[in-house]
A and B are shown apart, each in its own frame.
Chain A
Amino acid sequence: MTTTTETPNAQPAAARKATEKTLTGVQKLPMAKAINLGLRRALERDAKTLLMGEDIGQLGGVFRVTDGLQRDFGADRVVDTPLAESGIVGTAIGLALRGYRPVLEIQFDGFIFPAFDQITTQLSKMHYRSRGRLTLPVVIRVPFGGGIGAVEHHSESPEVLFAHTAGLRVVSPSTPAEAFTMIQQAIASPDPVLFFEPKGRYWEKGEVDLDAPLADPHTPDGLGLDKARVVRSGTDVTLVAHGPTVATALKAAEAAATDGTSVEVVDLRTLSPLDTATIAESVRRTRRCIVIHEAPVLYGTGAEVAARITEECFFHLEAPVLRVGGFHMPYPVAKLEHEYLPGLDRVLDAIDRSLAF
Chain B
Amino acid sequence: MSPTGPLTDDGLVRLLTHTGERVSHPEYDRYVDHLDDHALLGLLRDMVIVRRFDTEATSLQRQGELALFAQGLGQEAAQVGSGRALAPQDHVFPSYREHGVAHVRGVDLTDVLRLFRGVDHGGWDSAAHRFHLYTLVIGSHTLHATGYAMGVQRDGDVGTGDPTRDTAVITYFGDGATSQGDVNEALVFAAVNNAPVVLFCQNNQWAISEPTTRQARVPLADRGPGFGVPSVRVDGNDVLATYAVTTQALERARSGGGPTFIEAFTYRMGAHTTSDDPSRYRSSAEEEYWRQRDPIDRLGTYLQLRGAVTPEFLAGLEAEGEALGEHIRATVRTMGRPSTASMFEHVYATPHSVVESERAWFERYEASFLDAGEGSHR
Contact = CB atoms under 8 A, between A and B. Distances in A.
Interface string B158-171: 00000000000000
Contact of A94 (B146, B155, B345, B355): B146
A127 B182 CA distance: 21
Interface string A84-116: 101101111111111110000000000000100
Contact of B140 (A97, A98, A121, A128): A121
B interface, how many residues as a size bin? 35 or more
A84 B137 contact: no
B150 A169 contact: no
Contacts of B142: 90
Contact of B147 (A82, A91, A275): A91
Nearest to A97: B148
Interface residues of A, number: 52
A86 B142 CA distance: 11
A127 B347 CA distance: 7
B347 A117 contact: no
Interface in B179-218: 181-182, 185-186, 188-189, 192-195
B149 interface: yes
Interface in B108-146: 120-122, 125-127, 132-133, 135, 137, 140-146
A132 B350 CA distance: 10
B351 interface: yes
A356 interface: no
B151 interface: yes
A332 B56 CA distance: 58
Contacts of A169: 348, 352
A274 interface: yes
A166 B347 contact: yes
B334 interface: no
B246 interface: no
A135 B192 CA distance: 27
B39 interface: no
A93 B143 contact: yes
Contacts of A222: 350-351
Contacts of B189: 81-82, 84, 87, 91
Given A90-B186, A118-B140, A217-B350, A130 B148 contact: no
In the A-B complex, list the 8 residue pairs whose CB atoms are closest, starting with the nearest.
Answer: A94-B147, A90-B143, A98-B151, A91-B147, A87-B185, A94-B148, A129-B121, A190-B349
12 contacts: A86-B181, A89-B143, A90-B185, A93-B143, A94-B145, A97-B151, A125-B121, A127-B349, A169-B348, A190-B350, A226-B352, A273-B354
Interface of A: 1-2, 76, 81-82, 84, 86-87, 89-100, 114, 117-118, 121-122, 125-135, 166-167, 169, 189-191, 217, 222-223, 226, 272-277
